[in-house]
Amino acid sequence: MKIESLLSERCIVLNLELSLKSEVIDKMISLVADHPGVVDIGKLGEDVLRREQDMSTGIGKSLALPHAKSAGVNQPVLAFATLQKVIDFDSIDHEPVKIVFLLATPEEMLAEHLKLLGRITKLAGREDVRRRLVLAQSPGEVIALFRDEEKDFPQI
């Protein structure tokens, strides 16, 4: 399982025009509403918001990674967005966010969930990758970037 295989063009939005953290999270959840792996969008939304209340998923370096292990999905689900303007996400480094991933996995997939979080953080934590993501002109370009960056990575 690789990031590029989890992403689909319909779950990617570039230059999203929102200004609040709550709006961004709601939009990310709505992006996956029709995903075949989502069995209960309400449950997924509750789980993502509960996780966010526990601790901000603003992970630093302009990145946010709202995520949850949820009974609302029956397979891993991933969405991606870039923001037109940076927003406050209560990040651990106190810097605003420009790039957002939403990850949800079934509750029983803890190991895969942690590995996917780690892979996203590792790749998107690189300045060159973040720059390319922000400059991407199409969802296909985002998927191609991850395909290229993950070509030598093992499957999760």
Note the pLDDT tens digit of each residue in 111-130: 999 999 999 999 999 999 99
H/E segment holding residue 44: helix 41-54
Domains of the chain and any CATH numbers: 3-149 (3.40.930.10)
Q: Quickly state the pLDDT bin for 152 (edges 50, 70, 90).
A: confident
Q: Quickly state the pLDDT bin for 156 (edges 50, 70, 90).
A: low
**CA-closest candidate to residue 82, choices 28, 32, 38:** 28
Q: Which residues of 12-42 are buried (b: 16+ CB within 10 A; e: fewer)?
A: bbbebebeebeebbebbbebbeebebbeebe
Q: Quickly state the pLDDT bin for 24 (edges 50, 70, 90).
A: very high
Residues whose CB falls within 8 Å of the CB of residue 109, separated by 6 or more in sequence, listed in order:
69, 76
DSSP 38: B
* pLDDT of amino acid 153: 72
Average pLDDT score, the chain:
95
Q: Quickly state the pLDDT bin for 86 (edges 50, 70, 90).
A: very high
Helix pair angle (127-135, 110-124), 10° resolution:
90
